[in-house]
Structure 1
Amino acid sequence: MSKFSLQHKLIKIFSIALPSGANSLLDMANITVGMYFIADFSKEHMIALNVGMSYMMMLFAITAIFFIGTSAQVSRAYGAKDYQRLKSIMGNNFLITLFVSIPLLIVAFMGGELYLDWMGNGVSGETKLLGMEYLGIVVFGIPALMTKTICIAGLSALGDTKRIMYIKCITTTLNIILNYVFIFGFDFGIFTLDSLGIFGAGLCNVCITYLEALLLSGVIYMRKRVIGFNFVLRLEYSKTTFSVGIPAGIERFLTLFSLVLTQKFMSDYGADVIAGFQIGSKVEAFILAFGFGFQVAAMALVGQSLGRKRMDLAYDFLHTLLLYASIMMGILGLMICVFGVELSRIFNTQEAVLRASLYYLIAVGFSQVPLVIIFCLDGALRGVGATKLSLMINAMSIWLLRIIPMYIFVLYEADVRFVFGMIFVETYLRALIFWIIFKSRVWEKFIKRF
């Protein structure tokens, strides 16, 4: 059977990965804009915004269920050219997310204060009040967040990440304008909008999320020859979505919760360290966007190859992905190590904060190559529905090799550099585990048939 030429493979990989990476980059830009404006108020405002965002990130465990469950089925149906089945999957999952979003909104609204209390000393007093103000509005964007997840999953599975990027460009521009207007206030001549501060940042987030959901739904409607919504509930598609998606959701929850725990560990070192860690995380997020782009490409291309019953093609794409993604992410990782202080200074100028940020950036910068190997191979597992294997590897590695050692270092008040060092060590070990699983072809036994 014929294989694609290197040029053809690279075109397919980068036509998915770069727009998808740009989408993630624009997501980070949206977050950074809010951080940049809020930083003008106080350090407490910035910490409250970051902690509030971390709380909302926990919802990604739920969205992961529907994103992975939808993407795996759609990519397989698209590879097999079964467009009617594809549209039924999209319509079914769109309706399910709407039903799930309402109780989820209620739980998220009620749990905000408990989460802020749990975060400890670094998030108390004024910081806690500001966090509650932010969460009190931003949770109302959950229904739109859930439905736009289905739209993004469907388009990404087709490899159509460009249209998602175009929409993200529009909403990012509006986000900058609305963030400024809502946070600082604006005199429109006929009336004056007073400064809404951190509440304005949350309100802007809600408005943009609903706009994105509307525009993405419109794009899918216009592409109705190959994708669309057949709004009929089908037990078959729901069962597959949950059987594939729930392990991915559990994995995402454990991963996100580990990030929250890491933030809590940083809180034990004081406000300067947690602020430095948050800033370093945001700087890293700008290059991680491209890593996530390669993961989406792996999910789509491996899933489509399986739909064509071409496992040889799946391996061919993976080998090319791993080589070129490693080169690109290795260069970007070195850049954040070299320019870490200058990049962090955009958000804060205090020396103690910048020092903590640099320590973190060195640890993650020199581990970008193994991290993107993890992303690509994990994406391949998700693309074929082998989410239980992905859950086992990621959960065991992160919790046994990262979180427990970090907790011991914090418990015995070790230097924060040891805590960051565990991120570096665990990333290399997890990449090695993934490599062995794929090299031995053990992963093929976990492929989901549907």
Structure 2
Amino acid sequence: MSNKLLIDPSEGRIKVAKKVTKLALPIILSNLLYTVESTVSIVLVSGLSSTAVASVGYSASMLWFIYSLMALSYTGTSVLVAQRAGAGKDPSPAFLWGLIISFLIALPLTFFGTDLTTYLMVKFGASEEVAKLSSKYLDPIFTFITVGFITETFYAAYNGYGDTKSPFKVSLLMSLINISFAYLLIYGKFGFPRLEVEGAGWGVALSEIFGLIAYLYLYLFHKKPFPIKLSFEKDVLFRTFRIGLPTALERGITSLSFNVFVGMVASFGDKALAAHQVGLRVESVSFMIGFGFMVASTVVSGQNFGAKNYRGLEYGISTIAHLTASIMGLVGIFLIVFPAELSQLFVKDKEVIHLAVYYLIIVALSQPQMAYASIYSGALKGMGKTQIPLIINITSFWLFRIIPSYVFLKLFPSPLVPWVFMSIETTLRAAIFYFAYRKTISKLV
């Protein structure tokens, strides 16, 4: 299967683009399904209060920080499965170590995850009322956090091996479970208890349980993603940590930094925070497209790197980068033309919509830059150079986003200030990633 992902530099770019799109499309659709889940959760709880919207939205942002711990096993599993598949080696050791690591990381979170998350939310500027509602949403999720982490490791192994269609089918099932039970439990429909915000959390937890059952079914009855042999190579464990740890640190620090950044917006009140969350939900359509192609770039980079097909790697990444930037640029235009209409899909409060429109217009200008940053970051990770994205993302976030926002907010107290610097930072980060990628690939070709 890995041969299908090896890039021939003599191929036309259209042919390569089709090959990559075929790989990326199920990933994009899977992530769009996640966006739909998040959107429906926001829409459903919007019938409760604007505080409920802020609670569920901010909780989802904070969960990105918690799930950054998952990056240790997810990235190590995905990259090593891709590299071993490209080199014609058995991917089993990378997958098995990933499962063990993910379980061990998640287990402590079962007991103190909710308290830790809500504590951080308050420290970052959320109101006590938002934190109290958030704990109800988070309790079911953390009760089954080990299931969620193991499910993600399966997802990583499939993507690294090049089978992106099976995870999409599982994601579709999980989305249906999430949305159905969230609707039933938030408002107590058809005899189910009315749990309000907690019901949205149970929708997430139940979807993870059904997702793991689906992955186990695919392995037991179809031997997917590949026949697993009980092989625990110690060097694979060490490589998993070497590759995964920088990404875990990167995502953890970046996510924590992001919530510091969101705290700047939250300081202007729950309506500004709600507008930020609505803007993120709308923008997430573009972000998920970029994320899908970023995963594809990691797989293509990893498999071609493992096969020592360096010129094919360079040609493939170049094609993916320009393709993704074109698509996200079009989405950016759409955000500029219809910001109010898109915001109204999530919330009816006129003040929240007014602020969300400003957010969307500002971030729309940096969508192509976000595409380039994502693809070159994915390419570096596929080559195992995960320490480079760690340094770039953290440095860029603080130097060009948080610190300037903090300084200028003293002069211009408005949520527009951090949003403007968010767009500026994305542009500068894309340029830095490009030069870092060029320097790395030039040593190979």
Q: Is the 8 A contact 2:109 2:142 kept in 1?
A: no
Paired letter, 1:123:
S
Closer, same or farther: CA 281–225 of 1 in aligned 2, 3 Å:
closer
User: 1:406 and 1:446 mapped to 2: Cα distance?
Assistant: 39
Paired letter, 1:98:
F
Partner of 1:42: 49
Q: Does 1:124 align with 2:123?
A: no
Name stretches of at least 5 consecutive residues in structure 1 with no aligned partner. Answer: none
Closer, same or farther: CA 32–246 of 1 in aligned 2, 3 Å:
same
Q: How far off is 1:258 after superposition?
A: 2.2
Partner of 2:84: 77
Closer, same or farther: CA 227–261 of 1 in aligned 2, 3 Å:
same
**Equivalences for 1:47-446 in 2 at 5 Å?**
47-83=54-90, 86-120=91-125, 122-125=126-129, 127-187=130-190, 192-224=191-223, 227-439=226-438, 441-442=439-440
Closer, same or farther: CA 355–237 of 1 in aligned 2, 3 Å:
same
Q: Secondary structure of 2:144's partner?
A: helix
**Number of positions where the alignment pairs a residue of Structure 1 with one of Structure 2:** 438
> What CA deviation, in whole Å up to 9, does each residue of 1:191-245 have, x standing for no partner?
x323110111111111101111221233244553862433454432221111111
Paired letter, 2:244:
G
Q: Secondary structure of 1:58's partner?
A: helix
Closer, same or farther: CA 231–184 of 1 in aligned 2, 3 Å:
farther
User: 2:371 and 2:19 mapped to 1: Cα distance?
Assistant: 18
User: 2:444 and 2:381 mapped to 1: Cα distance?
Assistant: 11
> What CA deviation, in whole Å up to 9, does each residue of 1:253-272 have, x standing for no partner?
12211221121111111122
Q: Secondary structure of 2:393's partner?
A: helix
User: 1:396 and 1:175 mapped to 2: Cα distance?
Assistant: 36
Paired letter, 1:143:
T
User: 1:11 and 1:296 mapped to 2: Cα distance?
Assistant: 16
Partner of 2:32: 25
Closer, same or farther: CA 160–40 of 1 in aligned 2, 3 Å:
same
User: 2:440 and 2:300 mapped to 1: Cα distance?
Assistant: 20
Q: Which one of 14, 29, 38 corresponds to residue 21 of structure 2?
A: 14
CA RMSD of aligned residues (A): 2.0
- TM-score, length-scaled by structure 2: 0.93
User: 2:249 and 2:258 mapped to 1: Cα distance?
Assistant: 14
Closer, same or farther: CA 113–393 of 1 in aligned 2, 3 Å:
closer
User: 2:435 and 2:236 mapped to 1: Cα distance?
Assistant: 32
- TM-score, length-scaled by structure 1: 0.92
Q: Is the 8 A contact 2:74 2:156 kept in 1?
A: yes
Q: How far off is 1:291 after superposition?
A: 0.4
Closer, same or farther: CA 332–55 of 1 in aligned 2, 3 Å:
same
Closer, same or farther: CA 291–344 of 1 in aligned 2, 3 Å:
same
Name stretches of at least 5 consecutive residues in structure 2 with no aligned partner. Answer: 1-7
Q: Secondary structure of 2:194's partner?
A: coil
